[in-house]
Structure 1
Amino acid sequence: MSTNFDGPIAGVLGGMGPLAGAAFATRLTMLTDAAVDQEHIPAVLWNDPRVPDRTQARLHGGADPLPWMQNGIARLEQAGAKIIAIPCNTAHLWYDELVASAHVPVLHIIESVADDLDRRGLAPGPIGLMGTPATLKLGLYQKHLEARGYQTLVPTEQEIADFCVPAIELVKANRVAEAFEPAAACIARLQARGARAVALGCTELPLAVPHDRRAALGIPLTDSIDALALAVIDWFRAQSASGKAAA
């Protein structure tokens, strides 16, 4: 076997929250078409839960998470990462600053979700959005999806408070099974308003709505964890193909 230690390695800026970061690493492995260990994607996970709360920072003047995220990217680059994936949607409110401080490409989770919607052939049509208050109120998804031709349906402020926030907080508190009911209630409300699909636009939400319970909800769900993992897989395949071509 080759001892090329400098091949393509994915860096995962996790910890926001820590279970979502760990779940992303698991889904990256599970979604990779591999028969043996050596066909999987080399990856480094920086799962630092000390990053200050992103919603508190953006909406309520809380501590700035940017230096913590920049530190994580620097650590991943030191470990050999050639690309950065950030399995936290709200963190992408600082995407431009993170790209400016990074020395390797940084994937965009919302663009990955839009790619997943395209892959499923769901355009044109209204897409329901779920996420943190900052992600939804500051239009992070809306501007990206609408630029790609999608209409967006956002929960009301009361629905965000009653359904999105509890589902996310329960996952962060390791009470994952309890998170399904509020998440499913929000999905049902968005579907009743005409959504053709719902984007789980916080990386806690795919954990609140496990894969084995999704079919019963009767609506396609695009999962920001899986969408980002598929973007990493696409990147790795492209890197591997270019490496073979160069050889």
Structure 2
Amino acid sequence: MKNSTYEKVAGILGGMGPEATVDLLNRIIQLTPATDDNDHVRCIIDNNPKVPSRIKALIEHVGENPGPCMAEMAQKLEEWGADFLCIPCNTAHYYYDYANNAVSIPVVNLIDLTVKHVLETNPEIKRVGVLCSTAVISTKLYENGFGEMNVEVIYPEESFQTSLLEVIKSIKAGDTGAEVQSSFANIVTNVIEQGSELIVIACTELGIISNNVSFPLADATKILAEEIIARAKHV
């Protein structure tokens, strides 16, 4: 039986997309206070790029439901020894209940975690810009959380949101070059000009290229990495 000093093992439902999963692992490593290998967090990662496309299912309405695949991944990670699970994909949280209901261990909800972090660190905030996939907009994942606290969610205007989806697709294809970064900078400017007081990076792909943004940010990937470390080490 695991005792109270046992360091918990994180299970990661990865591959949505693969580079975003690697980015999360890098952040866990970078944010963990460590002087030796043993100080780092043990992670069991199912880096599964074969999860059915969330974009095809939610936007194009032609794709397979990703939920059952995510549930199977969650069960396997529990069997392999994970003490808690996380899903480093904002869009996939539309299917959160599939994973959560498939296991007996906790599943971190990235949307709830990010909203809570923003509200706790910015208690007076009234307008939040959210950069995310179009599927997250259509499912109102962030609007529901922020709306309960009367915080307005601002998205890029339609043409900029179309560009943002192309940026996300480019990053998934391995392109993080100057053109992609320039397009992203223009999108950031658009939500700032609409009155955003802070921008939530609510797509794990976007976290890969958001390091140079000087405007106040809440990066969901960084928030998740910090939560994983805290849970693993009982902080």
Same fold (TM over 0.5): yes
Q: Secondary structure at the match of 2:153?
A: strand
Distance of 1:186 and 1:222 partners within structure 2: 16
Q: Does 1:199 align with 2:195?
A: no
Which stretches in structure 2 are left out of the alignment for 5+ residues?
1-5
- How far the C-alpha of 1:149 sits from its partner, in A, is 4.3
Which stretches in structure 1 are left out of the alignment for 5+ residues?
1-5, 242-247
The residue number in structure 2 matching 1:51 is 51
Q: Could you tell me whether the CA contact under 8 Å between 1:14 and 1:45 is conserved in 2?
A: yes
The residue number in structure 2 matching 1:69 is 70
Q: Secondary structure at the match of 1:199?
A: strand
Q: Could you tell me whether the CA contact under 8 Å between 1:18 and 1:49 is conserved in 2?
A: yes
The residue number in structure 2 matching 1:126 is 127
Residues 28 and 149 of structure 1, relative CA distance in 2, 3 Å threshold:
farther
Distance of 2:115 and 2:226 partners within structure 1: 12
- How far the C-alpha of 1:144 sits from its partner, in A, is 1.1
Q: As a proportion of its length, which structure holds more helix?
A: 1
Residues 44 and 157 of structure 1, relative CA distance in 2, 3 Å threshold:
same
- How far the C-alpha of 1:150 sits from its partner, in A, is 2.4
Q: Residue 31 of structure 1 aligns to which amino acid in structure 2?
A: L
Alignment of 1:1-247 (within 5 A): 7-59=7-59, 60-121=61-122, 123-162=124-163, 164-177=164-177, 178-209=179-210, 211=211, 213-215=212-214, 219-238=215-234
Q: Could you tell me whether the CA contact under 8 Å between 1:123 and 1:149 is conserved in 2?
A: no
Comparing 194-203 with 93-102, which one deviates more in the overlay? 93-102
Kindly, what percent of the aligned residue pairs are identical? 28
Q: Secondary structure at the match of 2:228?
A: helix
- How far the C-alpha of 1:70 sits from its partner, in A, is 1.4
Q: Could you tell me whether the CA contact under 8 Å between 1:168 and 1:208 is conserved in 2?
A: no
Distance of 1:8 and 1:140 partners within structure 2: 28
Give a deviation string over 1:171-229, Cα, whole Å, max 9, x none. Answer: 101011243122211110000111011111111011122x2x123xxx11111111111
Q: Could you tell me whether the CA contact under 8 Å between 1:122 and 1:196 is conserved in 2?
A: no
Q: Secondary structure at the match of 2:101?
A: helix
Q: TM-score, normalised by structure 1?
A: 0.87
Q: Secondary structure at the match of 1:46?
A: strand
Task: Count residues with an aligned counterpart.
Answer: 229
Comparing 35-44 with 189-198, which one deviates more in the overlay? 35-44
CA RMSD of aligned residues (A): 1.8
Q: Secondary structure at the match of 1:128?
A: strand
Residues 119 and 26 of structure 1, relative CA distance in 2, 3 Å threshold:
farther
Q: Secondary structure at the match of 1:21?
A: helix
- How far the C-alpha of 1:119 sits from its partner, in A, is 4.8
Q: Could you tell me whether the CA contact under 8 Å between 1:129 and 1:153 is conserved in 2?
A: yes
Residues 61 and 193 of structure 1, relative CA distance in 2, 3 Å threshold:
same
Distance of 2:147 and 2:27 partners within structure 1: 27
Q: Could you tell me whether the CA contact under 8 Å between 2:8 and 2:231 is conserved in 1?
A: no
Distance of 1:118 and 1:232 partners within structure 2: 19
Give a deviation string over 1:95-130, Cα, whole Å, max 9, x none. Answer: 122211122100011122123313532632210011
Distance of 1:143 and 1:184 partners within structure 2: 27
The residue number in structure 2 matching 1:244 is none
Q: Could you tell me whether the CA contact under 8 Å between 1:124 and 1:151 is conserved in 2?
A: no
After TM superposition, the runs of 4+ consecutive aligned structure 1 residues lying more than 3 A away are none
